[in-house]
Amino acid sequence: MGNSTMLHPDRLFPEDPRTRDIARALYGSVRSLPIISPHGHTDPAWFAENKPFGNPAELLITPDHYVFRMLYSQGITLNQLGISGTSDSRKPMPDPRTVWRLFASNYHLFRATPSRIWLDHVFFEIFDFDEPLSGDTSDKYFDRIQALLDTEEFLPRHLFDKFNIELLATTESPLDELTHHNTIIASDWDGRVITTFRPDPVTDPEFEGFSTNVTLLGELTGRDTASFPEYLAALQDRRQYFQARGATATDHGNPTASTADLSPSESEHLFHKILTGDFSPLEAESFRAQMLTEMAKMSLEDGLIMQIHPGSYRNHNRWLFEQYGRDKGADIPRQTEYVAALKPLLDRYGNEPNLSIILFTLDETAYSRELAPLAGHYPVLKLGPAWWFHDSPEGMRRYREQTIETAGIYNTVGFNDDTRAFLSIPARHDMSRRIDCGFLAKLIAEHRMTENEGFEVAEAFAYSLAKEAYKL
């Protein structure tokens, strides 16, 4: 598939010839394994409706904040990229070809970034181009991609099968009725697209519309969510609703990793204060912390895997958030503490054999100091992969080097792509497999691991660890 001559077969492999040969062999054993994508943000409507993607810009630029944040950093507005906001309501939006030409003319901005690796994979492997994207080739790219998008072979379900995706997880709010997932389940298509329970809109007091969301949660479940016990029961109801539609995990994007273990009376008092809207930032943090512990309790009861990924200062650009909303490339990593923050939750549930919590971080300094030792001890903890800003060749290598020696291999969960850009999924998994094979090749070359062990671990990194960790 694709124009392999445009992509070097040894890309991302070690420079040393002997180590590179080992990496090649390892990669050859895993490159064609099915893709497990247990954590992501693609739109389930794509697979429910199975309609053609509209145009190249809509497919590859508009949904991908990895792409448009770089362009925005160079003074290109979101409006110029076809992304509408409050202040743009009366402005004419550029046509997709104009957006694409702007992107193509600035493609050099992505040099040495993971986005360039992913996009080149898409262009050369999926669309079979024989020359790089630039301002000069912009129209050629646009016309070819558009023509292919209008064919049956490029419908979402066909691409899903073509990419050899065994499972894809999306992420939805507790208030989502999962209409698209219901449609997928009721269809005759055998592709596995499951949901993930993301309760932030009803567990984070600083989430926009929180009080209204809590009221809607009550209406959806028939419970009085002005009562803390009923509020918790409503969340349990929605978790069951999600489980019945395939969910195996929850997902929590708190600003920090703070957890708490308040008494029932303290929790109820705090909850009522939160509902009034008259609360301090410290009280909001206390409530989020308590809700992580409450969610851990629920996961112990219903078996859902709990994902916690703190450390992002969300919507750092206030003006951009006010004009365009969430997920517009303005989330910034921040320093995150785990040892003290997680202790209340771990004191209560850390030794439970039937609870599994997957930790992600945007603070690389915590890898070897905090996260790896924690995961290397507590039965409930596992480490998620190099995440978001660190989903890069160097970031993946640093992750392996700083965590495996303390956490071991089997307290990690393989790889997930965490993407909104559907076509980048095979590219991201391919990059991960190449980097992991290079890492293992070095261990083999240094006689720290046998070749047989290396092949076993390469398969685990690429496939089985994720499948097992997420109960898939």
Say whether both 78 and 170 belong to one domain: no
Q: Are 415 and 333 in the same domain? A: yes
Residues 143 and 168 in one domain: no
For residues 163 and 176, state if they share a domain. Answer: yes
Find, among 271, 198, 197, 259, the residue nearest to 229 by Cα: 271
The answer to whether residues 370 and 229 belong to one domain is yes
196 CB contacts (<8 Å, ≥6 apart)?
39, 169, 170, 171, 172, 242, 247, 249, 250, 251, 307
Average pLDDT over residues 191-203: 98
Q: Do 172 and 208 share a domain, yes or no?
A: yes
Structure confidence by residue, pLDDT tens digits, 127-142: 999 999 999 999 999 9
Q: How many CB atoms lie within 10 A of CB 273?
A: 16
- The rounded mean pLDDT for the chain is 96
Q: Is the backbone of residue 37 left (phi > 0), alpha (psi -120 to 50) or beta?
A: beta
Pick from 118, 153, 188: which residue ends a domain? 153
**Domain boundary residue among 108, 133, 153?**
153
92: which strand partners? none
Tokens representing residue 55 in the block: 């145009």
Alpha helical stretches, state H, 106-176: 114-121, 138-149, 156-162
Cross-strand pairs, 359: 308, 383
Cα–Cα nearest to 2, from 125, 148, 122, 133: 125
Retrieve residue 82's tokens.
């076809």
Model confidence at 88, pLDDT cuts 50, 70, 90, reads: low
In a shared domain, residues 83 and 192 = no
Whether 334 and 311 have beta carbons less than 8 Å apart is answered as yes
Q: Is 303 left (phi over 0), alpha (psi -120 to 50) or beta?
A: left
Task: Specify the CATH number for the domain of residue 102.
Answer: 1.10.2020.10
Q: Are residues 338 and 398 in the same domain?
A: yes
The DSSP code for 151 is S
Answer yes or no: is pLDDT of 174 > 80.
Answer: yes
What does DSSP say about strands 312-313 and 332-333: parallel, antiparallel, or unpaired? Answer: antiparallel
For residues 142 and 215, state if they share a domain.
no
On the question of pLDDT at 16 being above 80, the answer is yes
Residue 399: which pLDDT band, with cuts at 50, 70 and 90? very high
Lookup: tokens for 182: 């219901």
CA–CA separation, 440 and 161 (whole Å)? 29
- pLDDT per position as a tens digit, 344-364: 999 999 999 999 999 999 999
> pTM for the whole thing?
0.96
Report d(CA 461, CA 355) in Å as an integer.
22
| Least confident residue range of 25-29, 78-82, 97-101, 461-465 | 78-82
For the chain, the 3-state helix, strand and coil shares in percent, each to the nearest 5, are 55, 5, 40
User: What's the domain range around 98?
Assistant: 53-153
How many domains is the chain partitioned into structurally?
Answer: 2
We report the CATH number of the domain holding residue 443 as: 3.20.20.140
Asked whether residue 82 falls in the same domain as residue 212, the answer is no
Q: How far is CA 286 from the centre of its chain?
A: 26
CB atoms within 10 A of CB 210: 20
Final residue before a domain boundary, out of 100, 127, 153: 153
**What is the percent of the chain with per-residue pLDDT over 70, rounded to a whole number?**
98
Average pLDDT over residues 290-301: 98
Residues 373, 452: one domain?
yes
Same domain, 81 and 15: no
